[in-house]
Structure 1
């Protein structure tokens, strides 16, 4: 690095250097009844007296942008800029609130407290705000209340609250349609999306928002990352310029690919680089040696029945998770809840956080965490970029077992849904420290290396039964006429499933020559290992889930192949989607996980 290198060149060089060294997860901190993640300026970088506070969007959009926030924090750290990201009260890993009478002001106050916490942690005197969606709007609202503010980055801001809520309602319907939820299963009496409900008081305040003519300038220097074909974004940029701001405008390339689905979200790398470049230009270099802040264990968050501690663990502290323990006497085994796809560890519709607290209210401890390159855990150097359905993730589960062993919480039960269910099954077979497993809607038990993971995720295959049900639905006919169904991919999925069923019915002589026979034998081998250990295995499926197709191929139409494995039980949940969104279905799953944890002490020793 030369003495005349630009901020961009500096952070690119530091990023290349850090690629040869394993990154740790960000430092967990707690404040104001919530969890934050602090990223210090990287060693060897040119430190700045400006630190970045991230303000997240809400709901489905927050799930989609979670990895983007980590990526930006890591890039900023490489450029010598510290940062903090956090959950609003009542969301993610934050404590729940019983009332929201102050509406959006509650989240605004949390942002102001987070700003002070960031100053304390970083030792810096100046701030930069980066907000996305509703978080960008919050950034514009709280900015005038902050001193020594160098700039505000507004990424796809909510300009008009009433219009945002209308778009959210349409977006919510599309998500629910994709899940296959009936109209009577949808949440329509509140502002909601993907099972997440916005408090009514917050929604009422959001509805009144309109920052297109905001009277106060958020900051002198502003970055506007404008969504394509959004006149409101352009109008806001013009208004801020008229107020006297130095506005840098950037098109939000890849916005739709980012927020369409957290499972297949494509990171907007060009935009991320532009945001970091802008911050590096706006941030004030540090003229003296930075103050070193003592790193301490975060204070636990205490709820009525639980105590939660955010932590880092594994080699190089590369994994982030939350340990949830009961306030009273602990019973049974510790549940290790494995994440699904690229959802953060709080889970779809915050299900995992709520399940952990339910378990604690019944005396059961749990650990929920992000595997490498998921959510808030950085990737492992040398591992493939696509980590789903990969044996590399088993190393992360082993690290979780090691953590629990060191805390005398080592009697462990694994639970997970979809790819998390696959990981739970594979990890249970690989590590005898697992004493039981609850496997929910597993896509398969052994991955077929001829299948492309990205395609399996993107094209959302369904079971033949689900296709049959949908074909007679009037709603499906309306979506078909509107061009909202990919007929080619649906046809390909049906053909694959029919081929698999034909292969499963072939005479043994011919079947043994196919790859399906090899996959079936590998599956039987894993089931045998678990059976020999007498390890209870609970399989839970939604009644029309795509995973049932693999289950029936491997284990028979009615599961008759399970007769040889006395340790396996099966539960079929009617009227539930793949994500187990309906509240009644979630409770069925929670009770099974609780039962598995409480019975773990009764497991006979391995013969």
Structure 2
């Protein structure tokens, strides 16, 4: 159940009966590793809860769904201590164990060192042993696409800022020193190699963490180390006494996140299996148009580089409510029955699209009469398919859509790389055939003959008949531009026949829009699309003509051809 701890967003996992008197606080890593590890740490929490351990996991201040713009180490350490107090006061546990991953393991050990002897057990998963080494790795990562001049105030790593003072704080962190001060009676380190762990703390227990590399791989390729997490949860439950009473934990209330916006974590859909965060503007400021934000790849609703959160809060400032939801098996939503717990579902799977419809149902229940569906990569694919089956989708903002029709081949890989199994020598002939089919489909459609030769062209005509606003955005050089060319000509010039379709090529080249500059550019386009949709005078979806009101200070019309 969603809870608020130390002002942060969290999830409490009630224990199976008989409940134990020991609670577990899971301390996540920061930045991109937190995104990659989210599904795995949720799995660990559920395994611990199944053994009778009450479990709390939460987003650090300034990260994930928690309020704030910047992650700070000192705030994270303080939040862990407050989480321990919350477990005792609200969950009724008599002792608390900490379990941390990567930088989260170092933060957990540092928090324990501030209350020597108070932590019952400490589980460290692939811990960062020395802050200065981790800082060096981040500096190397920040060099990609940046210059030394960009480092005056700090660095940016995968859409997350690290100010200079935070890098200095990190450099002074040492796991061995923290463990010596913490005086924790039971410590377990699970890492890829025994030697590395024993150099850190030779007196603690050690187990190998098989599959670490595949666990922290891109979310659509990652595998949760189920066996290792079974052993870890069993170790956390060892020697824990049975609880003497049961505590009632209350779900979190809507919380302010700045700018007058309020966020509520909601369960909805079949059996409450889906999870989303409703971001509402200040009271009395909500417009009639709402945005539905869908998952990117197999990542949770927070988004790569926290883009989902930043976008939702920016839209709220403009009066646009939004729901950033997790589709089945992604983020915090439950997986379909019988799904493999080790892997995420295919983010292009057909069964995800009807689930997205439940998000539109929720927004309608909240009073939104119009809806802009927003997606990046696989999220764009789901948004487009949703618009084709649900007439309540009035606008689309699709970024780096890999392919309009994946059945025709040519769709790039999820990371924006070459299509899996592509034969380069067939690329040009295949492109020529597809363009000829698309052109024939268009010419015949002009005289009223629908042939089905090019499904995307037919889809665009269907959307145009419903007066659906469409924004297509692409990173510079993105392989999805090939698909745009295959169906609609170079730079999508054939889309000029659809007055409500706009296209834009972004300044940056990163497929997932992780850099903050790309996020800001895409967010401005999405905000403008939402305001344009909201400004429509005639009912969207009607067959009557209408004009868009000019928006004071809005972006210029981005009609094709794009640059």
TM-score tier (shorter) = 0.7 to 0.9
Deviations 1:503-545 (A, max 9, x none): 325679999xxxxx99963323322221121111111112201
Name the structure 1 match of 2:542. 606
Quickly say closer, same or farther: Cα 1:604–1:130, change in 2 above 3 A: closer
Greater RCO (Cα-Cα under 8 Å, separation 6 or more): 1
Conserved 8 A contact 1:38-1:82: yes
Name the structure 1 match of 2:174. 210
Name the structure 1 match of 2:456. 523
**CA deviation after TM superposition for structure 1 residue 265, in Å:** 2.2
Equivalent residues in 2 for 1:419-434, closer than 5 Å: 419-434=378-393
Structure 1 position 169 matched with structure 2 position 139: yes
Equivalent residues in 2 for 1:79-94, closer than 5 Å: 79-94=51-66
Structure 1 counterpart SS, 2:29: coil
Conserved 8 A contact 1:332-1:597: no
Quickly say closer, same or farther: Cα 1:97–1:528, change in 2 above 3 A: closer
**CA deviation after TM superposition for structure 1 residue 117, in Å:** 2.0
Counterpart CA distance in 2 for 1:187 and 1:438 is 33
Quickly say closer, same or farther: Cα 1:560–1:191, change in 2 above 3 A: closer
Quickly say closer, same or farther: Cα 1:111–1:232, change in 2 above 3 A: same
Q: 1:235 pairs with 174, 199, 208, which one?
A: 199
Equivalent residues in 2 for 1:177-256, closer than 5 Å: 181=145, 190-214=154-178, 215-228=180-193, 231-238=195-202, 241=203, 247-256=204-213
Conserved 8 A contact 1:441-1:578: yes
**CA deviation after TM superposition for structure 1 residue 495, in Å:** 4.5
**CA deviation after TM superposition for structure 1 residue 332, in Å:** 4.2
Deviations 1:538-574 (A, max 9, x none): 1111220111111111222242432443332211223
Structure 1 position 275 matched with structure 2 position 205: no
Quickly say closer, same or farther: Cα 1:162–1:383, change in 2 above 3 A: closer
Please report the TM-score for the alignment, with normalisation by the length of structure 2: 0.85
Conserved 8 A contact 1:383-1:392: no
Please report the TM-score for the alignment, with normalisation by the length of structure 1: 0.79
**CA deviation after TM superposition for structure 1 residue 186, in Å:** 7.4
Gaps of 5+ in 1: 1-26, 242-246, 464-488, 512-516
Give the structure with the larger helix fraction.
1
**CA deviation after TM superposition for structure 1 residue 59, in Å:** 1.4
Structure 1 position 155 matched with structure 2 position 125: yes
Name the structure 1 match of 2:428. 498
Quickly say closer, same or farther: Cα 1:422–1:97, change in 2 above 3 A: closer
Conserved 8 A contact 1:373-1:387: no
Conserved 8 A contact 1:140-1:218: no
Counterpart CA distance in 2 for 1:397 and 1:237 is 48
**CA deviation after TM superposition for structure 1 residue 282, in Å:** 4.5
Structure 1 position 306 matched with structure 2 position 261: yes
**CA deviation after TM superposition for structure 1 residue 297, in Å:** 4.5
**CA deviation after TM superposition for structure 1 residue 499, in Å:** 4.8
Conserved 8 A contact 1:462-1:493: no
Name the structure 1 match of 2:276. 321
Name the structure 2 match of 1:67. 39
Structure 1 position 346 matched with structure 2 position 302: yes
Structure 2 counterpart SS, 1:219: coil
Deviations 1:578-604 (A, max 9, x none): 122344432332222222222334154
Quickly say closer, same or farther: Cα 1:130–1:298, change in 2 above 3 A: same
Name the structure 1 match of 2:4. 30
**CA deviation after TM superposition for structure 1 residue 374, in Å:** 1.1
Q: 1:364 pairs with 308, 320, 330, which one?
A: 320
Name the structure 2 match of 1:481. none
